[in-house]
Structure 1
Amino acid sequence: MNPLDKSITFLLADDHSLIRQGIVFLLEEMEFECEIFHASTLKKVLESVQENPIDIAIIDAHFPDGNSLSILPDIKRIRPETKILIFSGIDENTQSLKYINAGANGFLSKLSEEDDVKNAILKMINEGEYISPTTQALLVNSFRNRNLINPLFSLTERELEIAEMYAEGLGNLEIANRLDIKQNTVSTLKKRIFDKLKIENIVELVELMKDHS
């Protein structure tokens, strides 16, 4: 049976109503039968998935109440058959693999042309996934370099230990005392951690640790 011969149930999840309405217009132009639910927060995403038989969930990366990366495993646990397309303005080159790795079935940039968005939706319906040429290349490269999937893999055991302590809110002196090493050694390792992870401050480190814990 052709997937387009039956009604498709969509969940459009974005905290900007204009983005959701824009996708509605595209779905109307594509002229297939569908039912559409909306969500503006992560909490509402999970509620909608629990209450409705969602076929395709088109979800932004960031919401006022958090990062959608955190709920992808929950969506798959609640409704394994739901296909998830991340539709976001974040950088595909640095971000798409972690969403795919967490359970998303596709990743699409909000900078994409209308035809690309329609193509991605059709791929999700017909094939259950949408892997853009950019993400395809990243996936191939990730087999050679696992740091592309999780940058924390680039850290040594000691560097990861210190990164976790920074993420917990500890300072250089506290870390030095806990590990019984010199404070300037901690500072040197901190710089090395930041260089490897391509970050500039503790806030970015905390966010990265949350995303890849």
Structure 2
Amino acid sequence: MLDNKTTFLLADDHSLIRQGLVFMLEEIGLDCEIFQASNLSQVLDTVQSQAIDIAIIDAHFPDGNSLTILPKIKEINPEIKVLIFTGIDEATQSLKFINAGANGFLSKLSEEEEIKQAILRMLRYGQYISPLTQALMMNSMQNPKLINPLESLTERELEIAELYAKGLGNLEIASRLDLKQNTISTVKKRIFEKLNIENIVELAELIKNNHN
């Protein structure tokens, strides 16, 4: 890939971040074509219309979490390499993105040299796995809930989570499971805390992406 022109997609809702990445690509001296996106919809449109080699994508956008579109990106272009470049915590989040199809995860707090090295590794090897994420991947073999957050739920919590994801409300779930409505509300709060999510849409996406 280094010998040919490389097509990049830089996706972040902050133009300064995208511009900073453009400068880095210029400093590295790559022969490349660069497309930009500021939301998830533009990411999908660009991947659909352009032959993107490497996409450098933030984790969160105003219109959602990029975790939800990773499988779609890979479906559109199985050869694309995706580097998640974000400010969220690598220790708790990177495996979710790797598991959903990302080829690398890099913190925005990284030094400039590390960012350049990550980009070069994506070019040469098609992936960038930091020492921290490598360690997490090793740990996940003994602790599956690191890579599949649903593993942290009890059987009952998972059952209720699935009903929420299907569109049922507190009253319907309480009736179906013969439980009190306030019990269901309490379990819902616990599910959201365990999965580090804020709404039913995120829950439904987690279940779609992680449930076997």
| The two structures share one fold, judged by TM-score above 0.5 | yes
- Do 2:192 and 2:199's aligned partners in 1 also have CA atoms closer than 8 Å? no
Q: Offset of 1:145 from its aligned partner?
A: 0.7
* Alignment match of 1:160 (pick from 158, 183, 195): 158
1:104 corresponds in structure 2 to 102
* Alignment match of 2:54 (pick from 50, 53, 56): 56
- Residues 120-168 of structure 1 deviation map (CA, whole Å, 9 limit, x = unaligned): 0000000000000111011001111110012211223222112334564
Aligned mates of 2:200, 2:121 — CA distance in 1: 35
Aligned mates of 2:90, 2:113 — CA distance in 1: 18
Report the aligned-residue RMSD.
Answer: 2.2
Aligned mates of 1:44, 1:117 — CA distance in 2: 24
* Matching residue's letter, 2:159: E
Distance 1:209 1:115, change over 3 A: same
TM-score by structure 2 length?
Answer: 0.87
2:169 corresponds in structure 1 to 170
Distance 1:4 1:156, change over 3 A: same
Aligned mates of 1:114, 1:133 — CA distance in 2: 17
- Do 1:42 and 1:65's aligned partners in 2 also have CA atoms closer than 8 Å? yes
1:10 corresponds in structure 2 to 8
- Do 1:107 and 1:131's aligned partners in 2 also have CA atoms closer than 8 Å? yes
Aligned mates of 2:192, 2:60 — CA distance in 1: 23
Q: Offset of 1:170 from its aligned partner?
A: 2.5
Aligned mates of 2:111, 2:4 — CA distance in 1: 27
* Matching residue's letter, 2:129: I
3-state SS in 2 of match to 1:4: coil
Q: Offset of 1:51 from its aligned partner?
A: 1.4
3-state SS in 1 of match to 2:30: coil
* Alignment match of 1:203 (pick from 181, 198, 210): 198
3-state SS in 2 of match to 1:90: coil
Q: Which has the larger radius of gyration?
A: 1
* Alignment match of 2:40 (pick from 39, 42, 52): 42
Alignment of 1:15-94 (within 5 A): 15-94=13-92
TM-score by structure 1 length?
Answer: 0.87
- Residues 153-205 of structure 1 deviation map (CA, whole Å, 9 limit, x = unaligned): 1223222112334564633x55332211345754665576466x165xx8357
* Alignment match of 1:114 (pick from 96, 112, 115): 112
Indicate the larger mover: 42-51 or 130-139. Answer: 42-51
Distance 1:13 1:190, change over 3 A: closer
* Matching residue's letter, 1:152: L
- Do 2:192 and 2:198's aligned partners in 1 also have CA atoms closer than 8 Å? no
- Report sequence identity in percent: 68
- Do 2:106 and 2:130's aligned partners in 1 also have CA atoms closer than 8 Å? yes
Q: Offset of 1:6 from its aligned partner?
A: 1.7
Distance 1:75 1:183, change over 3 A: closer
Aligned mates of 1:115, 1:174 — CA distance in 2: 54
Matched positions, count: 207
Runs of 4 or more off by more than 6 Å in structure 1?
Answer: none
Aligned mates of 2:120, 2:203 — CA distance in 1: 32
Aligned mates of 1:34, 1:9 — CA distance in 2: 6
- Do 1:55 and 1:83's aligned partners in 2 also have CA atoms closer than 8 Å? yes
User: 5+ residue gaps in structure 2?
Assistant: none
* Alignment match of 2:148 (pick from 141, 147, 150): 150
User: 5+ residue gaps in structure 1?
Assistant: none
